[in-house]
Structure 1
Amino acid sequence: MARSANLRVKLEPCDVKENSFLYGRFHMREEEVCDVVVGFEMAETTTFLSNRYWVLRHGKSIPNERGIIVSSMENGTRPEYQLAPDGVSQAQLAGQLFQKVLEENNIPIENVCICYSPFSRTTHTAQVVASVLNVQFEGAQCKVMENLRERSFGPSYELLSHDKYHDIWALDEKDPFTKPEGGESVNDVACRLAEAIATLESQFQGCTILVVSHGDTLQILQTILNAAKLNAGSIYNDLASRIQAVQTPPVLSQHRKFSLLTAELRAVI
C-alpha cells in the first residue's frame, strides 16, 4: 500500500468545452509533488457500453524528462524508459484520487479493473496505482493489453525530439488516415482501440475500468467514444458498427481536443 498523503483539494471553476465535457481541476499537493488533474464527465449517462471507463495517462517518464519520442514496442518496453521519480509521485497521487472517487461513489474495489499498455512507463504507472488501491497487480483485476500501446510514430521520429510531435499532429489535422512513414495513422490506432473496448465489454459487466495508456492513444480513445456517445441517432446497435460509423476524418482529425497532462485522470464514459 502506498504511503498516504495529506492532500489539499481545491476545485477550480469549471467551464464547458466543445466536446461536451465539464472539467474540474483538483490540485493535490504533498510537499514538492507535482499536481494531478482530474476531469469529470457531466454529460448524460449512455447505455451502449456495459462498463464505466476512466483514463489515466502515465506519470512523467524518463523519455518525458529527456524530451524524446519513444513509441516503438522494442524501445517502449525497456526498463530504462519507465517513470521518472516525479512520475512515481504523480502516479501515487492519481491512485489516491481515484481511490477517493471510488469511495465517494460507493464503488467496491472488487468491481475495478486496471487495464494498461505493455510499455514500461504505463506498466510502472499501473503498478503504482494498483499498490495504492491495494489491488494485486498480478491478479485478475489488472490486465495488460497490447492494443493500448503507444501510437507508433515510425522510425523517422523514434528517439528524436518531442518537438517533432507537432509535425505529426499537423498531418493528423489534414488527414487522420495518413500514416507517418512506418508508423500508425489516427485511424489505425482507433481501429485497435475499438478492438480493445470490444474485448473489455465482452469480459466485464458493470465494472469501473481504468485505462492506463499514452497521450495520443488516450486522445483517440476519448475521441471515438465521445463521438459514438453523441451519435444518439445511430442506426447501429452493435458496438463495433457504432464506433466504425464515427471513424471519419472530421471526427478523428480533432483528437488533440482531448489531450491529457502526465498522470491526468479523467472520467470518459
Structure 2
Amino acid sequence: MAKTSPFLRNSYWILRHGKSIPNDKGLIVSSLENGILDEFGLAPDGRQQAQLAGELLDKELKRRNILVENVQICYSPFSRTTHTAKIVADVLGIPFEGPQCKAMTELRERFFGPLFELLSHDKYAEIWALDEKDPFMLREGGESVADVASRLSVALAKLEAEFQGCNILVVSHGDPLQILQAILYAAKEENSTGGDISSRIKQLMTYSVLSQHRKFALLTAELRQIN
C-alpha cells in the first residue's frame, strides 16, 4: 500500500476481523444490534487468524523499534472485531481493559439495511454493483458509502485530536476499511492540506473516489499499514 498524505499526526495500521461465524454461515450481519451478539463472533479458525495477525504486528513493531507503549488499539464494538482486538492485545501484552484499547462505534460495520440483514453473502455483489453506480445512494434504511466515509472521518478526527506520534491499530470490517483506504489514498494523491480532517475528507468524497472502494478489499484478519 502506498504512503498516505502527511497530514496525519499518527501512523495507522488496519486489521479486518478474523473469520467469523457469519462468514462461516454465509450471512450478512451488519446491524449493531445483531453484531454485538456472541453468537456472531469469531469462528475457531478466525481466532487462529487473529493470533497470527497479532504475531505479525508484534514482529513489525519490533523490527521498526516501536515500543508497545506507543500503540493504541481502536476497534468496532461488534463481537467479531472485539474478539479480534482482544486476541491481538493479548499477543502484544496490552491490557484489553486498559487505556490503550478503545471501542469506537464509528468503526462499526456498514449497515446494509433491513432488506439485506441476516441474508446470504451473495447479496454483497448486488450491493457493490450499486456502489459503483452511485456511492451516495441510501439502501432502504442502510448506509451508503458516503455515509460510512462521513463517520470514519469523525473517528479519524477524534484519534488525531487525542493522540500524536502513536501507532494506531484500527480493527474493523471489510467495507469500512475499504472505504477508509480509498479516502486516504485519494488524500495522498491530492496531497490534501489545510482545514480540519473532516473538511478535507469531505472534499474527497467524490464519485470517482468512493465508487472504487472495492479496489482496497482485505481478506479476513489481513493487516496493512496505511501510512
Q: What band does the TM-score fall into relative to the shorter chain?
A: over 0.9
Residue 77 of structure 2 corresponds to residue 122 of structure 1: no
Distance in 1 (CA, whole Å) between partners of 2:168 and 2:193 is 27
For 1:149-188, what aligned pairs fall within 5 Å after superposition?
Answer: 149-188=108-147
2:172 maps to 213
Deviation digits for residues 210-260 of structure 1, max 9, x if unmatched?
00000001000111111112212x463432221111100111000000000
SS at 2:171 equivalent: strand
1:49 maps to 8
**Aligned residues between the structures:** 227
Letter in 1 for 2:115: S
The partner residue of 1:250 within 208, 219, 227 is 208
> In angstroms, what is the RMSD of aligned CA positions?
1.0
Larger Rg: 1
Q: State TM-score, norm by structure 2.
A: 0.98
Deviation digits for residues 130-169 of structure 1, max 9, x if unmatched?
0000000000000000000000000000000000001000
More helix by share: 2
Distance in 2 (CA, whole Å) between partners of 1:212 and 1:264 is 10
For 1:1-269, what aligned pairs fall within 5 Å after superposition?
Answer: 21=1, 41=2, 43=3, 46-232=5-191, 234=192, 236-269=194-227
Deviation digits for residues 167-213 of structure 1, max 9, x if unmatched?
00000000000011110000000000000000000011000000000
**Structure possessing the higher relative contact order (Cα contacts under 8 Å, 6 or more residues apart):** 2
Q: State TM-score, norm by structure 1.
A: 0.83
SS at 1:181 equivalent: coil
SS at 1:240 equivalent: helix
Identity of matched residues, %: 66
Distance in 2 (CA, whole Å) between partners of 1:148 and 1:73 is 11
Unmatched 5+ stretches in structure 2: none
Letter in 2 for 1:268: I
Deviation digits for residues 99-146 of structure 1, max 9, x if unmatched?
000000000000000000000000000000000000000000000000
SS at 1:209 equivalent: strand
**Between 115-124 and 46-55, the greater mean CA deviation after superposition:** 46-55
Moved over 4 A (4+): none
